[in-house]
Amino acid sequence: MTVEKFKVPVSMLAPMIDPGQLGFDDTGGLEPLTDIIGQERAAEALEFGLNMKSPGFNLYVSGPVGTGKGTLVRQMVKRMAQAALASSDWCYVNNFQDPSRPICLSLPAGQGVSFKREMAGFIDGLRRDIPMAFESKKYLDAKAKLHDDIDAKKKSLFQELTELSRTRGFGFEETSVGFGIVPLKSGKPMTDADMEAMTEEEQWDLNERRKTLEGEIREFHVRIHGLEIEAEHQQRHLDRQLVTNVLEGRYETMRRAYQEIPAILTFLERVRDDIVHHYKDFLPREGPTLAIPGLEFKRPDMSRFLVNLIVQHDPTEGAPVIDESHPTYTNLIGKIERRAHMGVMYTDFTEIHAGAVLLANGGYLIVNALDMLRQPFSWDALKRVIKTGEVKIEDPGEFYGFSTAGLRPEPIPVNVKVIMVGPPILYHLLQAYEEDFGKLFKVKADFDTEVERSERQDRQYARFIAKLCREEGLPHFGADAVAEILRQGLRFADRHDRLSLRFSLVSDLIREAGYWARKEGHSFVSRADVDAAVSHKRHRSNLAEHWIQDEIKEGTLMIDLDGDVVGQVNGLSVHELGDYSFGRPTRITARTYVGTKGVIDIQREAELAGMIHSKGVMTLAGFLAGKFAGSYPFAMSASVTFEQTYSEVEGDSAAVAELAAILSSLANLPIHQWLAVTGSVNQLGEIQPIGGANEKIEGFFESCSRRGLTGKQGVIIPARNTKHLALRLDVVEAVESGHFSVYAVNTIEEALELLTGIAAGERDLDGTYPSDSVFGRAAQRLEEMAQAVAEWSEGEEKPSGHIITEP
């Protein structure tokens, strides 16, 4: 048998890049990369979504970590934002009619700060000017004249009352509780003797006159009180007229400055009315003050006139771009803080703070989908904002059922483009289980993980290296180092014709190579430095692999790497440990015997097999039945297992190895133990590609090299996996020197020929296989099993040498 036809050429094992064809000596002379490599599909989707102004055309940016999603999104968003108009400033002011419902005001970009400053200056000026006006001579004279006029009227009324009382025969005398009336006789108060000397008729007349006078005195008090009320009204009118005159100039200046914003004019009118009606808040307090600590008199709070500027923008910076890294409810929507005073929590409109949505109003909001969905209320709040087009800042305590008699700020209208960044699986889950998602996020931007290699892409990779070197102060890369980075980029993609777009991995490799270059004192990074970075990173991560390979070498994990064994084959598996994965050989054994149970997967019976692995094993039964069932019943049972594995086995990449072990046991043909095999197989015997081809080859190579390469050892892979090969250079060198081999097969027949050294066999015209072929021996054995079952069913004695199992 010739095996050369199955060998994979050395040129296909790993891409070799000639540094001389890159067209430069080092990256120092290259122009740094300014765009993203190989994400044209995503860039087109982003361009469409960002320019689409209709409702619901928000974006979900999908792709694995490290593909440059965030970088491209920020670049495109910032470019578009710079060309857009700056968004409005927003502020909250006091609602003088209902302080629990603050009013929102919108101003052109940059004017919010001016309005806040001018409003504070307006109030500070009045706090200075109003007290001065009340101390002016003109005001004091007017106030004195007003009081004198009222006092004269009171005096005139009192004189009238005095004259009237004298005509009634009474006078006034001072008592401990005020003034009282006493009867007069000859102009003097009557004595007790005078009173006793009066007749009954005179006493009755005196009482009647007293009652009449008391009524007139009550009328006097009413008129006096009326004068006092009139005095208060006149005083208040005088004071308000004075305050109006004081603030009129400042008010008119403010009104003219914002005459094109009706909402501000309305607010200024209410401010003026409040100042006029509560002008005493601007005056110093008269009378003694309390000396109790904490209760000392303070001037009335003027915060009701303040402007709470919650969103401000520079008119020269374009539309806002907010990248919210921690999208909690309050960070996203906003919050109302509270202050403590004398053990009481209180709040007002000055404690309202904007969230990311308001800060991004008129622009772009970028959030991480996973981070947002982890936060209570954030997703529902964002949906509500997109649906209603407004932000309503509320106390989150209300969502938990706590009653809070707090503020109800006026909702602020928003128009924001939301860009959610997340993994692909989350997009599909939201589409399936969140009914509003498809209506709110109508644009998906998918980021790829690899791009077809070309001369242009090689150049862009080099420019990316140049950019990173300049940004982070790394030594520049020589052409040979760039070539090695390109080769590692192909390896990251598991293809020799495609470059990886996982630039987080590439960037870390560039940084580590720069570190080793500096440590060695190199002015430029060389290929040796890149190799050092790769080997050191592997050494830091491969402790588990080292343990397993040591146990294989010592024989603790039983793996035969030489000789021939019936029903035993070296399969290959991959272990994934976070950011590091490695391959290793695993012994797979099979035993066949008379029965009708078909293929028994011990892993599945022990509940140590995943669904895909179980499917692969059941596929083997379909292949065997289709290949051999015909003129006699298929009377075989076979057990197959992964030896020395104690955790779940998943995947169908061991199907070829399992089928080879079963056929080896059935045909009683030994399998070469110096070979390992991986591949999936369908019911037609076609070998299908698998994942982790590079790791599996390198894992078996590591086991062989530790025991010593013999020149016969090698790995059989599906031919459709040859395009995924990007092996380590030490493996390529071993293949090139003839110490190791990699074979590629398309069918199970080709794999069996390599594993056994015997042709699998093809059916003759009479439908039988050659007796000396793998299939011929297997068919003969199956016929014997069928006869044994038939004899046993007829009650005859069991043939010796056969194991009979109950059907």
Q: Is 51 a residue whose pLDDT tops 80?
A: yes
**CA-to-CA dists, residue 665 to 108, 484, 590, 643, 784, angstroms:** 84, 46, 7, 16, 14
pLDDT in tens, 326-363: 999 999 999 998 877 667 777 889 999 999 999 999 99
Q: Return d(Cα 572, Cα 742) in angstroms, integer.
A: 14
> What number of other Cβ atoms are within 10 A of residue 562's Cβ?
13
Q: Which residues pair with 336 in a beta bridge?
A: 352
639 catalytic, yes or no? no
Nearest CA among 634, 662, 646 for reference residue 787: 634
Q: Give the per-residue pLDDT at 607.
A: 81
pLDDT in tens, 562-603: 999 999 999 999 998 888 999 999 999 999 988 878 888 888
Nearest CA among 32, 14, 28 for reference residue 479: 28
Reading the block at residue 540, the tokens are 């830091």
pLDDT in tens, 536-555: 999 999 999 999 999 999 99
Q: Is 419 a residue whose pLDDT tops 70?
A: yes
Alpha helices by DSSP H, 389-526: 424-433, 437-440, 455-472, 479-492, 503-519
H/E element holding 252?
Answer: helix 200-257
In eight-state DSSP terms, residue 306 is: -
Q: Which of 62, 653, 664, 703 is catalytic?
A: 653
Using alpha carbons only, how large is the chain's radius of gyration in Å?
48
Q: Return d(Cα 54, Cα 42) in angstroms, integer.
A: 20
Cβ pair 323, 75 in contact under 8 A: no
Nearest CA among 378, 386, 371, 375 for reference residue 355: 378
Q: Give the per-residue pLDDT at 806.
A: 35
Q: Give the per-residue pLDDT at 1.
A: 55
Q: Return d(Cα 443, Cα 60) in angstroms, integer.
A: 6
Reading the block at residue 728, the tokens are 């380590």
Q: Which of 106, 696, 703, 773 is catalytic?
A: 696
Q: What is the average pLDDT value for the chain, to the nearest integer? A: 88
How big is the CA angle at 582 (ends 490 and 519), to the nearest 5 degrees?
65
Task: Kindly report which listed range (148-162, 306-320, 525-539, 762-776) carries the lowest average pLDDT score.
Answer: 148-162
Q: Is 720 a residue whose pLDDT tops 70?
A: yes
Which pairs with CB-CB distance under 8 Å and at least 24 residues apart come from 606-614? 608/645, 608/646, 608/647, 608/648, 608/649, 609/648, 609/649, 609/650, 610/648, 610/649, 610/650, 610/651, 611/650, 612/650, 612/651, 612/652, 613/649, 613/650, 613/651, 613/652, 613/654
What are the two backbone dihedrals, phi and then psi, of residue 239, each rounded to the nearest 5 degrees? Answer: -65, -45
Q: Give the per-residue pLDDT at 738.
A: 93
Number of residues that this document lists for the chain: 807
696 catalytic, yes or no? yes
- β-strands 334-336, 352-354 pairing: antiparallel
> 804: pLDDT confidence band, cut at 50, 70 and 90?
very low
Mean pLDDT throughout 129-149? 87
pLDDT in tens, 626-668: 888 776 777 788 899 999 888 888 888 999 999 999 999 999 9
Q: Give the per-residue pLDDT at 807.
A: 31
Name the amino acid, one letter, at 199.
T
Q: Is 403 a residue whose pLDDT tops 60?
A: no
Nearest CA among 615, 608, 713, 626 for reference residue 658: 615
Q: Return d(Cα 485, Cα 462) in angstroms, integer.
A: 9
pLDDT in tens, 319-328: 999 999 999 9
Q: Is 732 a residue whose pLDDT tops 80?
A: yes
Three-state secondary structure along 476-497? CEEHHHHHHHHHHHHHHCCCCC
pLDDT in tens, 267-308: 999 999 999 998 888 888 765 555 555 545 455 678 899 999
pTM: 0.81
Reading the block at residue 731, the tokens are 């493996």
User: Best-predicted range by mean pLDDT among 196-200, 587-591, 619-623?
Assistant: 587-591
DSSP 224-249: HHHHHHHHHHHHHHHHHHHHHHHHHH
- β-strands 714-718, 390-391 pairing: unpaired
Mean pLDDT throughout 6-31? 90
Q: Give the per-residue pLDDT at 191.
A: 73
H/E element holding 566?
Answer: strand 564-566
User: Best-predicted range by mean pLDDT among 126-135, 244-253, 704-713?
Assistant: 704-713
Q: Is 105 a residue whose pLDDT tops 90?
A: yes
> 800: pLDDT confidence band, cut at 50, 70 and 90?
very low
Cβ pair 18, 11 in contact under 8 A: no
Reading the block at residue 436, the tokens are 């509003």
Q: Give the per-residue pLDDT at 795.
A: 60
Percent of the chain, pLDDT > 70? Answer: 93
Burial classification of residue 592, based on how many CB atoms lie within 10 Å of its CB (0-12 exposed, 13-18 middle, 19 or more buried): buried
Mean pLDDT throughout 726-751? 94
Q: Give the per-residue pLDDT at 695.
A: 95
Cβ pair 603, 596 in contact under 8 A: no
Q: Is 159 a residue whose pLDDT tops 70?
A: yes
Nearest CA among 300, 368, 296, 303 for reference residue 332: 368
Instruction: Answer with the residue of higher pLDDT: 193 or 113.
Output: 113
Instruction: Answer with the residue of higher pLDDT: 53 or 139.
Output: 53
User: Best-predicted range by mean pLDDT among 3-7, 171-175, 520-524?
Assistant: 520-524
Nearest CA among 595, 543, 603, 605 for reference residue 571: 603
pLDDT in tens, 479-514: 999 999 999 999 999 888 899 999 999 999 999 999
